[in-house]
């Protein structure tokens, strides 16, 4: 059972539970709330301590200057036809408030203390993924129920981060599958003393950490990103490119001494080809490491604003993060939303006991036992990170069949859109036979045979889907 089938059965089980608990206000309210948001976009929480770049990363992902509204408030950013905002006070009903946009992001005209805010902003990114900017130092118990997936921002992975990740993985039920979390190593631009090669060093460090079994057991990926450089890349202006180009045109021997510190870069008499205020503004946007990188990229072929923005985007690590979010979270929206909804149901069935509760709990456990989506997601993560290794061509086919290039039948089988039903049947049957042999190879390690068994089950699920949908 994968994808849409999991989503439909999870929704049906929630609806059944909502009917059973209709006379119990607390449980009924939670179930109604869970059902209401079941059909919405993926809810992705951005979590981290102060100064880890949460709001900057939200801006980078959206590609606009909207965060922060209030660093002490949970703020949900969602798509809408026009900018609007609602305040959710500690007591009382939500109410709409004026929203204005300034140099530091959006400001809400709330006249009372609010624990939460919802901001509607027109954005293609937000159509598929709602972003939740969370306050620092909030315990996992307040964050995890709000989100379907989590980006944990940290300069380096420490014990506190591991405890946070561990809090999202239960010992039973839907929460046993740690498919909802990704670690983002921020401050990537400070590696290597802030020199351009430091970003590459940070990405290598992230690759090493994602291969560690203890970390891989708790999250789907580890990615190194400079939110500041990524945000500047997504929103780079022509006047900023002109400042960079003017400095890059100077001889290196003349310009480089002023790049050794922020004081030298912003001093009144330095780099006179650009005025002091423009240099200060550029430093706020890119940081000294970002400026060094932008100058290096401009000197080596970025002759337009668009070219420089694209190369900064890639070097910042943001492009890799967006690809990972797309493949591991957005493409698996149905499975992640089913997981978060079923966690709520699991908790209710175990704490709010009614005569039908054991039967519903048994159905939930049966549903999870057949939810192959989570096995696929874990194997995708293990193959991408290198925790499980297969021969190169075999690994590429495994990634495709697992849904790494898209979860439709054609994308999984690598077939063109004009493929006939006979073509699909033939490709699916051939793939199943190949992976049945792969799972039985004595020359493979136990981990490789287990991986092959997961891919084989994906092939069998494709054949089962064809049996149901083909006359």
Phi, psi at 117, each rounded to 5°: -140, 150
Could you tell me the CA-to-CA distances from 278 to 228, 251, 376 in Å, in that order? Answer: 17, 20, 50
**What range does the domain containing 406 cover?**
388-469
- Which letter does DSSP use for residue 173 in this model? G
At residue 191, the pLDDT reads 73
Report helix, strand or coil for 293: helix
Could you tell me the CA-to-CA distances from 25 to 33, 400, 425 in Å, in that order? Answer: 12, 46, 50
Over 70: is that where the pLDDT of 277 sits? yes
Q: Based on the structure, what is the number of domains in the chain?
A: 3
| Other Cβ atoms within 10 Å of 391 Cβ, number | 12
Over 60: is that where the pLDDT of 2 sits? no
- C-alpha to C-alpha distance for 310 and 233, rounded to whole angstroms: 7
Over 80: is that where the pLDDT of 278 sits? yes
User: Helices 318-328 and 227-234 sit at what angle, rounded to 10 degrees?
Assistant: 90
- The model's confidence at residue 105, banded by pLDDT at 50, 70 and 90, is confident
Over 80: is that where the pLDDT of 50 sits? yes
Phi, psi at 239, each rounded to 5°: -65, -30
| 163 and 296 part of one domain | no
* Runs of H (alpha helix) within 64-123: none
Mean pLDDT of the chain: 91
Strands 95-97, 149-154: parallel, antiparallel or unpaired by DSSP? unpaired
| 119 and 56 part of one domain | yes
- C-alpha to C-alpha distance for 145 and 44, rounded to whole angstroms: 11
At residue 113, the pLDDT reads 63
| 19 and 59 part of one domain | yes
| 48 and 164 part of one domain | yes
Over 70: is that where the pLDDT of 206 sits? yes
At residue 32, the pLDDT reads 94
Closest C-alpha among 50, 53, 10 to residue 34: 10
The predicted model scores a pTM of 0.91
Tell me the mean pLDDT in the region 139-144: 86
In which region does residue 261 sit, left (phi positive, over 0), alpha (psi from -120 to 50) or beta (all else)? beta
For 390, the token pair is 């297969």
- The model's confidence at residue 193, banded by pLDDT at 50, 70 and 90, is low
| 85 and 102 part of one domain | yes
| 283 and 171 part of one domain | no
Over 70: is that where the pLDDT of 263 sits? yes
| 45 and 175 part of one domain | yes
Q: Is residue 39 situated within a structural domain?
A: yes
Closest C-alpha among 342, 316, 323 to residue 230: 316
| 289 and 401 part of one domain | no
Report helix, strand or coil for 159: helix
- The model's confidence at residue 70, banded by pLDDT at 50, 70 and 90, is low
At residue 236, the pLDDT reads 96
Handedness of CA 322, 323, 324, 329 (dihedral sign): positive
Percent with pLDDT over 90 in the chain: 72
Least confident of 18-27, 104-113, 174-183, 234-243: 104-113
At residue 440, the pLDDT reads 92
- Which letter does DSSP use for residue 300 in this model? T
Strands 99-102, 105-108: parallel, antiparallel or unpaired by DSSP? antiparallel
Whether the CB-CB separation of 397 and 437 falls below 8 Å is answered with: no
Q: Is residue 357 situated within a structural domain?
A: no
| 297 and 327 part of one domain | no
Least confident of 163-172, 228-237, 290-299: 163-172
Over 90: is that where the pLDDT of 310 sits? yes
Say how many CA atoms lie within 13 Å of 374 toward its Cβ: 22
At residue 177, the pLDDT reads 85
- The model's confidence at residue 137, banded by pLDDT at 50, 70 and 90, is confident
Three-state secondary structure readout of 352-402? CCCCCHHHHHHHHHHHHHCCHHHHHHHHHHHHHHCCCCCCHHHHHHHHHHC
**Rounded to an integer, what is the distance from CA 399 to the centroid of its chain?**
19
Structural Rg of the chain based on CA atoms: 25
Q: Is residue 374 situated within a structural domain?
A: no
Percent with pLDDT over 70 in the chain: 96
At residue 297, the pLDDT reads 96
Over 60: is that where the pLDDT of 140 sits? yes
Least confident of 132-146, 217-231, 379-393: 132-146
| 240 and 277 part of one domain | yes
Tell me the mean pLDDT in the region 373-379: 94
At residue 329, the pLDDT reads 95
- The model's confidence at residue 171, banded by pLDDT at 50, 70 and 90, is low
| 303 and 325 part of one domain | no
* Runs of H (alpha helix) within 120-226: 124-128, 140-143, 159-167, 197-210, 213-216
At residue 110, the pLDDT reads 64
Residue range 312-354, pLDDT digits in tens: 999 999 999 999 999 999 999 999 999 999 999 999 999 999 9
Q: Which residue would you say has higher pLDDT here, 400 or 176?
A: 400
Q: Is residue 239 situated within a structural domain?
A: yes
Q: Is residue 373 situated within a structural domain?
A: no
**If you count DSSP H runs as helices and E runs as strands, how many of each does the chain have, helices first?**
22, 11
| 290 and 337 part of one domain | no
Cα-Cα-Cα-Cα dihedral of 123, 124, 128, 133, to 10°?
-30
Q: What is the CATH number of the domain that holds 46?
A: 3.40.50
Strands 114-120, 84-89: parallel, antiparallel or unpaired by DSSP? antiparallel
- The model's confidence at residue 99, banded by pLDDT at 50, 70 and 90, is confident
Q: Is residue 134 situated within a structural domain?
A: yes
């Amino acid at each position: 059972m994968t994808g849409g089938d999991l989503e439909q059965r999870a929704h049906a089980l929630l609806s059944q539970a909502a009917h059973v608990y209709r006379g119990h206000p607390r449980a009924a309210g939670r179930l109604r709330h869970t059902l209401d948001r079941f059909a919405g976009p993926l809810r992705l929480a951005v979590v981290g301590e102060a100064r880890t770049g949460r709001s900057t990363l939200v801006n980078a992902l959206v590609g606009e200057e909207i965060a922060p509204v209030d660093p002490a408030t949970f703020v949900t950013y969602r798509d809408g036809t026009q900018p609007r905002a609602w305040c959710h006070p500690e007591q009382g009903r939500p109410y709409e408030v004026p929203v204005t946009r300034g140099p530091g992001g959006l400001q809400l005209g709330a006249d009372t203390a609010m624990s939460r805010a919802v901001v509607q902003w027109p954005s293609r990114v937000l159509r598929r993924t709602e972003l939740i900017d969370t306050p620092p130092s909030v315990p996992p118990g307040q964050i995890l129920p709000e989100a379907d997936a989590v980006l944990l921002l940290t300069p380096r992975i420490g014990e506190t981060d591991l405890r946070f990740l561990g809090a999202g993985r239960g010992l039973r039920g839907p929460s046993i599958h740690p498919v909802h979390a990704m670690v983002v190593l921020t401050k990537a631009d400070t590696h290597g003393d802030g020199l351009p090669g430091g970003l590459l060093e940070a990405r290598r460090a992230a690759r090493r950490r994602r291969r560690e079994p203890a970390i891989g057991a708790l999250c789907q990926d580890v990615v190194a990103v400079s939110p500041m450089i990524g945000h500047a890349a997504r929103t780079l202006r022509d006047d900023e490119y002109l400042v960079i180009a003017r400095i890059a045109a100077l001889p290196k021997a003349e310009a480089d001494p002023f790049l050794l510190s922020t004081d030298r870069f912003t001093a009144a008499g330095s780099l006179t080809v650009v005025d002091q205020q423009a240099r200060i503004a550029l430093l706020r946007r890119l940081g000294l490491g970002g400026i060094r990188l932008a100058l290096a990229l401009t000197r080596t072929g970025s002759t337009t604003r668009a070219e420089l923005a694209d190369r900064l985007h890639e070097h910042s690590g943001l492009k890799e993060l967006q690809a990972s979010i797309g493949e591991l979270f957005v493409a698996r929206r149905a499975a992640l939303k089913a997981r978060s909804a079923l966690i709520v149901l699991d908790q209710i069935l175990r704490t709010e006991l009614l005569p039908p509760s054991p039967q519903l709990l048994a159905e939930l456990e049966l549903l999870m036992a057949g939810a192959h989506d989570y096995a696929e997601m874990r194997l995708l993560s293990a193959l991408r990170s290198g925790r499980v290794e297969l021969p190169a061509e075999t690994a590429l086919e495994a990634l495709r069949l697992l849904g790494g290039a898209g979860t439709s039948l054609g994308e999984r089988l690598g077939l063109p859109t004009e493929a006939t039903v006979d073509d699909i049947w033939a490709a699916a049957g051939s793939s199943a036979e190949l992976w049945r042999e792969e799972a039985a190879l004595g020359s493979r390690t136990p981990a490789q045979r287990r991986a092959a068994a997961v891919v084989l089950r994906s092939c069998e699920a494709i054949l089962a889907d064809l049996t149901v949908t083909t006359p």
